[in-house]
Structure 1
Amino acid sequence: MELSQLRYFTAVAQFGNMSKAAEAMFVSQPNLSTSISRLEEEVGVPLFERRRGKITLNQSGACFLSYVEQALSSLEKGVQEVRNRNGVQSDALTIACMTDCSILLQQFLAENPDIILKQQRGDLPSVTQMLEQQEINLALTVLEPPGEDLAFERLYECEFVLLISPEHPLSAYEKIDRRQLQGEHLAIDGSQVNRFTFCTAEGKFGQTPIIDYDVRHLDLLLSLVAANRCISPLPLVNYKELRLLGKDQGVVYRPYEGGSPTAYFGIAYHKRHPPTAPGKQFRDFVQSYFQNIDRKYEALFQETTDN
Structure 2
Amino acid sequence: MELSQLRYFMAVAELGNMSKAAQALFVSQPNLSTSISRLEEEVGVPLFDRRRGKIVLNQNGELLLESVKRAVNTLDAGVRAVRDQHAGKSAPLSLACMTDDTDLLEHFVLDNPDINLIQKRLDLPALTFLLERGEVDLALAVLPPPSDEIVFERVYNCHFVLLMSRDHPLAGEASITRHQLAGCRLAIDGSRVNKETFCAAESAKFGVTPAIDYDVRHLNLLLSLVESNQCVSIVPAVKYEELYLQGGHQNVVCREYADGAPEAYWGIAYNKRRPLNEHGQRFRAFVRDYFTRINAEYAAATRA
TM-score (norm 2): 0.69
**Residues 179 and 207, structure 1, Cα contact 8 Å, conserved in 2:** no
- Residue of structure 2 equivalent to 1:100: 100
Spell out, residue by residue over 1:71-125, the C-alpha distance to the aligned partner (whole angstroms, 9 max, x if none). Answer: xxxxxxxxxxxx99x9411111011111111100011101111111111111212
Instruction: Write the distance in 1 (CA, Å) between the matches of 2:189 and 2:259.
Output: 22
Aligned-partner SS, 2:176: coil
Is the alpha carbon distance of 1:98 and 1:190 closer, same or farther for their aligned partners in structure 2, counting shifts above 3 Å? same
Letter of the 2:126 partner, please give it. S
1:268 equivalenced with 2:269 (yes/no): yes
- How has the CA–CA distance of structure 1 residues 129 and 249 changed in structure 2, closer, same or farther, with 3 Å as cutoff? farther
Aligned-residue Cα RMSD (Å) equals 1.6
| Alpha-carbon distance in structure 2 between the residues aligned to 1:167 and 1:207 | 28
Structure 1 residue 190, shift from structure 2 partner: 1.0
Give 3-state SS (helix, strand or coil) of 1:136's partner.
coil
- The residue aligned with 2:218 is 217
Equivalent position of 1:110 in the other structure: 110
State how 1:140-155 maps to structure 2 within 5 Å.
140-155=140-155
Aligned to 1:36: none
Distance 1:207 1:270 in 2: 38
1:120 aligns with 2:133: no
- Alignment partners' CA distance in 1, 2:278 and 2:193: 31
Partner of 2:134: 134
Checking the alignment, whether the CA contact within 8 Å between 1:182 and 1:207 is kept in structure 2 is no
Q: Which amino acid aligns with 1:291?
A: T
Which structure 2 residues correspond to residues 70-81 of structure 1 after superposition, within 5 A? none
Instruction: Show CA shifts across 1:176-227 (max 9, x none).
Output: 1111112211111111111122222222324442322221111111111011
SS for the counterpart of 2:170 is helix
Deviates more, 1:154-163 or 1:118-127: 118-127
CA shift, 1:145, in A, is 1.2
Matches of 1:188 and 1:260, distance apart in 2: 12
1:272 alignment partner AA: R
**Match for 2:146: what amino acid?**
P
Q: TM-score normalised to the size of structure 1?
A: 0.69
> Structure 1 residue 247 and structure 2 residue 248: aligned?
yes
Match of 2:171 in 1: 171
Q: Is the Cα–Cα contact under 8 Å of residues 163 and 234 in structure 1 kept in the other structure?
A: yes
Determine the C-alpha separation between the residues in 2 that align with 1:118 and 1:286: 16
C-alpha contact 1:138 1:268 (8 A) present in aligned 2: yes
Measured after TM superposition, the shift of residue 241 of structure 1 is: 0.6
Report the residue type matching 2:267 in the other structure: G
- State the AA in 1 paired with 2:271: H
**In structure 1, the residue corresponding to 2:88 is in which secondary structure?**
coil
Structure 1 residues 249 and 127: CA distance shift in structure 2, 3 A = farther
Secondary structure of 1:203's aligned partner: helix
Q: Distance in 2 between matches of 1:274 and 1:134?
A: 11
SS in 1 for 2:187: strand
Measure how far apart 1:239 and its partner are: 0.5
- Distance across 1 between alignment mates of 2:251 and 2:168: 12
Q: What is the count of residue pairs matched by the alignment?
A: 220
Between the aligned partners of 1:122 and 1:190, the Cα distance in structure 2 is: 13
Runs of 4+ in 1 over 6 A off after TM superposition: none
Per-residue deviation, 1:126: 1.6
